[in-house]
Structure 1
Amino acid sequence: MIRKISIKFLIGFFLIFSFSFVVLNQTVKEFIRTSNQNLVTSELVGLKNNSNVYVRQAFLINHFSSNELYFGEIAREIATDLNHTTDSSVGVYTVKGKLLYAPDSSLFQQQMQSDLQQAIDGNTAYSITYDRNKTTVLFSYPVVIDGSKVGILRFYKDFSSLYEQTGQIRQITLYIALAIFAAAFLFSYILSRHITIPLTRLTQASTEVKNGNLDIRLHFKRRDEIGRLAENFNDMIDQISRQIHIIEKDRDHLKQLHQQEKRFFDNITHELKTPLTSILGYAELIRLNGEKDRVFFDKGMNHIIEESRRLHAMVLKLLEVSRKNIMINELDRVDIGLILRDVCESMTIRAQRYKKTIEYEISEELIMLADGDRIRQLFINLIDNAIKYSLPFSAVSVKAVRSEEKIRLIFSNPSDPIEAEHLSRLLQPFYPAYSDSAEEGSVGLGLSIVKSIVEESAGSIMITNEHNETIVTVEFKALETAGNGE
């Protein structure tokens, strides 16, 4: 069972405040008790001193020495006078504790108390009696004249007003303390709620995240640590969502690549198997009766040669695609316009085979740093691809111009529309460019080889399809010619 932090806060605050209140109550109580005792003692000491002076004067005026008998004779006078002068009820006792006289003897008719016994023993003492709202003190001390104890004076004094006043002060103090503690407890409760409610929401939100809900967000209108914690929590969830999106995207991409790779190897297995089967079949037939039928022998050999060449070209393309680290040859100063013109002229025969034509417009002095053989291979692949996948009886257009510091090559041919989704993936190594109209023996490797050559030469390539026309644009950095001030 999970214990809420708010409950722990409240229990802790309650215990602390209860303990503090009890300690404060006892401290105030003890302080008032001690203060009252000090006041009572101080007043009784003054009372004793004044009464001693009065008794001495009475003995001196009548020229009596210390005499218990005389003390008994003036007991009424002493009690009456002291009763008026000290504002206390006075009882006069013998040295053995027998009451001689008291204006109000009922006040002294109580049982023998400790104060009187202490006076009989020669000590000064008092006892306090608490009776509901009344507090009284009995104060006794032995009267000593010239070193001899002649009797005992006992005073009855009411201190109710003192104790009532101090009691009120104690109550007021405790009420104020209780109010302060109650306010502090209420403030602590509100503060604990202010802290624990966001933590509770944060706990619930983290549980939601643990269960897979990444759409939850926390919004606290606070600028303290908890507000910052909520912002960090939201940023963390956003980061997790982005990472999961990237992972899912990479997963889908890997899955797609796996499927493309599988299709690629299925296709390449089929394409490699087809010429090998044909070569093997013709070779066996030639071995059996080739020498007897010269026409069949020539036909079979021509077919074997053609299939072997096709197989050779296919293997070379596979090697181009599978190369991970291409060793770049030393670059030369090359006029790629001359190379392109030569390729267009040589590819014209292949275009005629498809009943198509090549129209080219090539500017002079298109100079750049490149590997001439790789550039030739680039042009062959692009023009061959345009011939194979252009519409029937159409013309392939080739343009090469210099634009500022760039050489721009544009290869265009009429074609069926290509969706943007496929257009962006035509340069991938395992993606079949035109699967619906692919030529027999083609595995869709030409454009991926083109991309690798363009990247080797620090160029750029872009494929677009607009108005039923496919356009491949290649750009390279041009070198200045001698005529331009090299």
Structure 2
Amino acid sequence: MIRTIRTKFMIGFFIIFGVFFLILQQWVTVNIESGNRNTVNNQLQDLKNNSNSFIQQSFLTHHFTSDEIYFGQIAEETATELQHAASSRVAMYSLTGELLYAASDQAVFTTSGEDLRLARQGKTAYTLTRAKREASVLFAYPVVIRGTKVGIVRFAKDFTPLYEQSGYMQRTIFSIALAVFAAAFLFSYLLSRHITVPLSKLTKATTEVMNGNFHVRIAVKQKDEVGQLAANFSSMIKKLREQFAIIEKDRDRLEELIHHRKRFFDQVTHELKTPLTTIMGYAEIIRKNGVNDPALFQKGVNHIVDESKRLHAMVLELLEKSKPMEAHHTDITVDAAQILLDVCDTMAIKAQRYKKTIRCEAEKGLFVRGKSDRLRQLFINLLDNAIKYSYAHTEIIVIASVEDDRVRMIVSNQGETISADNLEKIFEPYYRAGHAYTESASVGLGLSICKGIVDEHRGRIWISSDNGHTNVDMDFPLAKA
């Protein structure tokens, strides 16, 4: 069975205060009893001194041969006067313990009692009797005249007020201690609840998180360490939730990438096999009959050349993608505008075959640091895409200029709008947007290669597509000539 912190706290509190109460009770009782005994002793000592002086004076004014007989004769008179002087009941006894005279309430003054027995032995003693709320003392001592014991004086004194006062003091102390205990207990309970309730919520929350629930909320509004702990825990859960979302998204993208790669390798295997089969077939035909049939020879050579070019392009794309990034770093300054103009002129012939035109507007002096062949490959890929995916009888516009110390280039064409989902993944390797005008030989490496070339030159590239217009924007740091 698991004990909660609150239970342990309250058990510890009761143990501590229980021990404290026992110690306090013992200490108060011992000290009050000791004080009462000292008070009784002092008062009885004063009573003895005063009464003894009075009796001594009586004996000094009278001369008898037997002081013991004289003590018996003055017992009544002496007891009466002592009772008025001491405000206590007085009785006179012989040395044998016989009652000679009791000033009042003879029932109190019996011939027995420990104090009287000790007085007969020549000692001073008293007996304290407590009944309910009353406290009384029987005090006896022997009277000595000129070194000889002549009798015993016994007092009955009421000490009820003294013990009532000490009892009241004791009850007051315990009442105050009980009030302090109750206040401390209430404070301890509230404090333990203030601490344990948020901890209980945190415990439940951690259990939920352990079971995979990252959407748990902790309603703790305290402005202390516990509240800060709850706030930090909530922030941790939020970050964990975000991280898991990213991991799940990356997992889905990785699975999708694996699927695309598998599809790519299946397609590449087929596409590599097809041109090789064609090349081998026409080569075999030419070897057998090509010399005697010029038309067949020309047709076979054309097919072999076309398939070889197609195969060569596919191999170049694969090799390009497999190059390490470090192989592309360069510090050479090249004229990007001139390279762009040359590529536009070269690609204009292909655009005409597709019934499209290219218009290029490039400022002079657009220098960037990089490799001319890599930039040429970049521009060829982008213009090739623009030609393949634009509508017939449309114009492809290429613009290059300087903006904020950066060389900006835009390739714009009119064609089918690319969806937002496809735009997010369009630079991923082997990804094809499923465009209606996609050529069968495309394996989805072109834009990925373009992105790699732009990154090599510390540039940026992004694509936007809306209302039948697709724009490829690039910018590079402007370099000095």
Q: TM-score, normalised by structure 2?
A: 0.90
1:309-324 equivalent positions in 2, closer than 5 A? 309-324=309-324
8 Å contact kept, 2:115–2:127: yes
Match of 2:146 in 1: 146
CA contact (8 A) 1:79 1:103 kept: yes
Deviates more, 1:289-298 or 1:16-25: 289-298
Q: What code does the residue aligned with 2:200 have?
A: T
Q: Which residue of 1 aligns with 2:100?
A: 100
Q: Trace 1:200-219 onto structure 2 (pairs within 5 A).
A: 200-219=200-219
- The residue that corresponds to 1:30 in the other structure is 30
Q: What are the residue-to-residue correspondences of 1:11-50 with 2, within 5 Å?
A: 11-50=11-50
State the distance in 1 between where 2:408 and 2:480 align. Answer: 15
Shift of 1:178: 2.4
Deviation at 1:318, TM superposition (A): 0.9
Change (3 A) 1:385 1:163: closer
Corresponding residue for residue 127 of structure 2: 127
Q: Which residue pairs with 1:453 in the alignment? A: 453
Q: Residues 57 and 348 (structure 1 numbering): CA distance in 2 closer, same or farther, change over 3 Å? A: closer
Alignment match, 1:196: 196
Whether the 8 Å CA contact 1:291–1:297 is kept in 2: the answer is yes
- Conserved? CA contact 2:91–2:100, under 8 Å: yes
**Residues 412, 469 of structure 2: 8 Å contact kept:** yes
Give the 4+ runs in structure 1 shifted more than 6 A. none
5 Å matches for 1:390-409? 390-403=390-403, 405-409=405-409
- Indicate conservation of the 8 Å contact 1:59/1:65, yes or no: no
1:235-384 equivalent positions in 2, closer than 5 A: 235-287=235-287, 289-290=289-290, 293-328=293-328, 331-384=331-384
One-letter amino acid of the counterpart of residue 42, structure 1: N
Q: Which runs of 5+ in 1 are unaligned?
A: 482-486
Deviation at 1:139, TM superposition (A): 1.0
Secondary structure of 1:436's partner? Answer: coil
Report the AA paired with residue 467 of structure 2. Answer: H
Alpha-carbon RMSD: 2.7
Contact persistence 2:329–2:456 (CA under 8 A)? no
Summarize deviations over 1:302-328 as a string: whole Å, max 9, x none: 322321221112101111112123423
- Cα gap change, 1:187/1:458 in structure 2, threshold over 3 Å: closer, same or farther? closer
CA distance change for structure 1 residues 469 and 198 in 2, over 3 Å: closer, same or farther?
Answer: closer
Q: Structure 2, unaligned stretches of length 5 or more?
A: none
What is the rounded CA distance, in whole Å, between the counterparts of 2:132 and 2:477 in structure 1?
113
For 1:161-180, list aligned pairs within 5 A: 161-180=161-180
Q: Judge conservation of contact 1:91–1:108 (CA < 8 Å) in 2.
A: no
- CA distance in 2 between counterparts of 1:332 and 1:51 reads 130
Q: Distance in 1 between matches of 2:65 and 2:54?
A: 15
Partner Cα distance (1:33, 1:479) in 2? 104
Tell me by how many angstroms 1:125 deviates.
0.6
Partner SS state of residue 106, structure 1: coil
Identity percentage of aligned residues:
51
How many residue pairs get aligned? The number is: 481
Instruction: Say if 1:389 and 1:434, in contact at 8 Å, map to a contact too.
Output: no
Amino acid at match of 2:253: H
| Separation (CA, whole Å) in 1 of partners of 2:341 and 2:89 | 144
Distance 1:239 1:214 in 2: 10
Alpha carbons 2:427, 2:448 under 8 Å: kept = yes
Report how far residue 196 of structure 1 moved.
Answer: 2.2
Alpha-carbon distance in structure 2 between the residues aligned to 1:150 and 1:424:
127
SS at match of 1:15: helix
Residue of structure 2 equivalent to 1:484: none
Residues 1:115 and 1:281: Cα distance change in structure 2 (over 3 Å): same
State the AA in 1 paired with 2:415.
Answer: S
SS at match of 1:107: coil
Q: Secondary structure at the match of 2:214?
A: coil
